[in-house]
Amino acid sequence: MQPVSYNTSQVKKMNVELVKNALKAQGTATKASIASLTGLSVATCGTILNELVAIGEVIEVKPDESSGGRPAMQYEYNADFGCVVCLLIKTEGGIHSIRYSIVNLVGDTVEDAILELKHIDVDVVDNLVGKLLNKHGHAQAIGIGVPGVAHSGVIGVCDVPDLAGKSLGPYLEEKYSIPVMIENDMNMTVYGFYHLQNFEEEKTFAVVTFPKNHFPGAGFIVNGQILSGNTKFAGEASFLPFGISREEQLLQLHTDEGFIRLAVQTLTSIIALINPVSIAITGDLPRETQLDKIYEGCLRHIPKEHMPTLFVKNDTNEEYMKGMVTETLESLAYRLRIIEKR
């Protein structure tokens, strides 16, 4: 196996991220304590801190006088140096809404609101983004969750008809000169669930949603990573071969017997393929009283020792926003995928 090599620019960017993450975790810290936390030299930490102070991303605070000797300068990460704008586009029971949240660089919410709208299209999203960017001019990225497939900022199959087939991401990026992420709602919901679970190690986890008057969908975390697939189509559970038309599938989902049967088929497919530790069953249709029958139905196909924990959670708004905020903030960080050369 050959050692992994990085160029000077990559090393510098990784070191800057190490210093910023150490400061965010500690609140305030000295050069020496940051060096100890990151494994970098005091000189390297000093150079990086000076650069971050110069642009305002890090603030110098009063020196640490607790040691009794010459007091060392303390540093604090400036959480309000920038922010991210997150939008959740939803359509439920004929009600269209956009929830937006402005979040600073350490994840604190600055502003949050829900707008109920008669319809949602590119112009509606564009107008809202424009207003939010005018108000928060230091925004560094935009994250938008949609109830559908999104690939490279282009929306495909979508529960909001006027957004289907639209290049929303590239359009907003070109107009506002800011990075824009368009993400599937289920991927962001499962990511939010995963982060709120606070697992001690990387796990495999799934969320399946059964919304009223819409087709089901799913989101997967495999070994701590979102599984979105080659064209971001992973999780489109309604395309599983149930042996009935999509129209019939939608009708059966709204009956108790049909829902349980289709839920069992969906869950057993997921369990057999990714073997999750637990599955959250979400949306308007599932009920706690159906859980035993669903579990028993899965046991007819899946050995008990491989069965995940199943639980119902109808309202996933907070998990959805948590996932969207986390993913958008992470997009700002320099991340280099390490690939071992053999």
Assess if residue 235 is contained within a domain. yes
pLDDT, residue 30, reads 93
Residues 59 and 91 in one domain: no
Confidence of residue 64 (pLDDT cuts 50, 70, 90): low
Assess if residue 54 is contained within a domain. yes
Assess if residue 253 is contained within a domain. yes
pLDDT tens, position by position, 284-302: 999 999 999 999 999 999 9
Residues 70 and 135 in one domain: no
pLDDT, residue 239, reads 95
Residues 323 and 174 in one domain: yes
User: Rounded mean pLDDT of 310-339?
Assistant: 87
Residues 37 and 108 in one domain: no
Q: Is the pLDDT of residue 62 over 60?
A: yes
Residues 166 and 283 in one domain: no
Contact 321, 86 (CB under 8 A): yes
Residues 151 and 240 in one domain: no
- What's the gap between Cα 64 and its chain centre? 37
CATH number at residue 106: 3.30.420.40
pLDDT, residue 242, reads 96
Token pair of 148 as six digits: 């559908």
Residues 157 and 70 in one domain: no
Residues 143 and 109 in one domain: yes
pLDDT, residue 197, reads 83
Closest C-alpha among 108, 39, 50, 42 to residue 75: 50
Prediction pTM value: 0.87
Assess if residue 26 is contained within a domain. yes
Pairing between β-strand 139-146 and β-strand 180-184 as defined by DSSP bridges: parallel
Residues 90 and 129 in one domain: yes
Q: Is the pLDDT of residue 100 over 70?
A: yes
Confidence of residue 201 (pLDDT cuts 50, 70, 90): confident
Assess if residue 340 is contained within a domain. no
pLDDT tens, position by position, 246-258: 999 999 999 999 9
Residues 147 and 199 in one domain: no
Question: How far, in Å, CA of 320 to CA of 226, rounded?
Answer: 14
Note down the domain range covering 197. Answer: 188-317
Question: How far, in Å, CA of 85 to CA of 101, rounded?
Answer: 6
Axis crossing angle, helix 31-38 with helix 42-55, rounded to the nearest 10:
120
User: Rounded mean pLDDT of 322-334?
Assistant: 94
Q: Is the pLDDT of residue 317 over 70?
A: yes
Residues 141 and 245 in one domain: no
Residues 167 and 115 in one domain: yes
Assess if residue 98 is contained within a domain. yes
Assess if residue 125 is contained within a domain. yes
Domain count, the chain: 3
User: Rounded mean pLDDT of 178-193?
Assistant: 95
Q: Residue 93 burial by CB count (10 A; 0-12/13-18/19+): exposed, middle or buried?
A: exposed
